[in-house]
Amino acid sequence: MSYDVAAVRACFPALRAGAAHFDGPGGSQVPESVAAAVAATLTSPIANRGRTTQAERTADDVVLAARQAVADLVAGDPGGVVFGRSTTQLTYDLSRVLSAGWGPGDEVVVTRLDHDANVRPWVQAARARGATVRWAEFDPATGELAPEVVGALLCDRTRLVAVTGASNLIGTRPDVAAISALAHDAGALAYVDGVHLTAHAAVDVRALGADLYACSPYKFLGPHLGCVVADPGLLATLHPDKLLPSTDAVPERFELGTLPYELLAGTTAAVDFLAGLGGPEGDRRARLVAGMAAIEEHEDRLRERIEDGVRALPGVTLWSRAARRTPTLLLTVDGRDAADAYRFLAERGVNAPAGSFYALEASRHLGLGDTGGLRVGLAPYNDDGDVDRLLAGLGEWLSI
Ligand SMILES: Cc1ncc(COP(=O)(O)O)c(C=O)c1O
């Protein structure tokens, strides 16, 4: 199926403002259908969840539909989809409850590649319990995180391995299935940060071996919230602090207070939008797999154009090098400040921010300190015109 980027772009009101958005890894633009679903939910008669009044049923149906949509997106179980304010918040909440039984001698593995949202909650939980933290290093020359490196850190006291599905800084997609299998062999859980990956590839949480999989709809064309997908059987064994009158059912016991119904409706609309890119054939999961494959092909073509263009520019280093990676490029320029390029491009309507993007350990491990570099990230709505503007802008900046 050919990818009609002009038709895709026409669905995004924000693009009419004229900027070329390479800031998708920070948060994507939103299609009209997502905004309409949010607005319709806010303005429809709605109450707290229940099955007695129509208003209660509306709220309940919105939640159930969103759980099903996220489950379809990542091939998970709708009964194990937990919603929260953000992935950071959910990972903190889950780190507290998952670490409740840890003590001295227990171990947790984190990686140097991960966003801090999948590092610090585990480091701090381990510290609170007297458990040991093991660090899995990626190779700064290749950007690869080898499963053997993680495997070498495991022992029969490893309780959990926290690993990213894809780096939001340099795009590396580690072999999560292999890492999860090693974690399971050691008797540990695999907690996978899928925030960056979910926007760029068809995800199957079972194939990845993820016991818990976190993602954030605002990275895949949806509204600002987070979710974690897990086996409901695993969630049933966990007992977070909660209010006495609130239900102890799974997954609700992890969702403190009232859910943002309008954002959940927007999440369903975002998943439907992605499925719509996969054509009319099959159920939503099948259309999602096809839609994500179409996005991947489109984004990879543009990524290659950017890489070729950037390599022709003097003094530019490309840090995104792993064999399997998302279309997220980190660049630095000898003797020049990436933040300067960010400002220069912004004045020309090209949005490509500079920084380390909370992937602090990764940035330091690459030798880029806390400053990082210029991040150029692709999204389903980017086109060749955007790439032309980016390359022209970078060329101009380098010539001054
Ligand atoms: C890879 C990755 N993990 C986690 C997060 C944190 O997500 P949230 O903003 O939903 O807490 C981000 C946000 O940029 C991210 O890119």
Domains in the chain (CATH in brackets) are 5-30+292-398 (3.90.1150.10), 35-274 (3.40.640.10)
Among 93, 193, 216, the mutation site with the greatest number of ligand 1 atoms within 8 A of its Cβ is 216
By the 8 A CB rule, do 348 and 300 touch?
Answer: no
Question: Which tens digit of pLDDT belongs to each residue from 302-324?
Answer: 999 999 999 999 999 999 999 99
117 lines ligand 1 (CB under 6 A): yes
112 pLDDT higher than 90? yes
Give the mean pLDDT of 220-232: 98
pLDDT of residue 32: 98
Question: Which tens digit of pLDDT belongs to each residue from 148-188?
Answer: 999 999 999 999 999 999 999 999 999 999 999 999 999 99
Cα gap 95→126, rounded to integer Å: 9
Number of other residues whose CB lies within 10 A of the CB of residue 1: 12
88 lines ligand 1 (CB under 6 A): yes
Give the mean pLDDT of 373-381: 98
Beta strand residue intervals within the chain, DSSP E = 20-21, 81-84, 107-111, 132-136, 158-164, 189-193, 212-215, 226-230, 316-318, 328-333, 350-351, 354-355, 373-377
303 lines ligand 1 (CB under 6 A): no
Among 358, 360, 363, 375, the mutation site with the greatest number of ligand 1 atoms within 8 A of its Cβ is 358
Cα gap 373→298, rounded to integer Å: 24
pLDDT of residue 42: 98
Three-state secondary structure call for residue 373: strand
Question: Which tens digit of pLDDT belongs to each residue from 132-142?
Answer: 999 999 999 99
Give the mean pLDDT of 60-71: 98
pLDDT of residue 2: 78
Question: Which tens digit of pLDDT belongs to each residue from 201-217?
Answer: 999 999 999 999 999 99
By the 8 A CB rule, do 335 and 351 touch?
Answer: no
Three-state secondary structure call for residue 281: coil
Three-state secondary structure call for residue 86: coil
Residue 87 CA to ligand 1 center (angstroms) comes to 6
Question: Which tens digit of pLDDT belongs to each residue from 187-198?
Answer: 999 999 999 999
pLDDT of residue 207: 98
Give the mean pLDDT of 276-299: 97
pLDDT of residue 1: 57
328 lines ligand 1 (CB under 6 A): no
28 lines ligand 1 (CB under 6 A): no
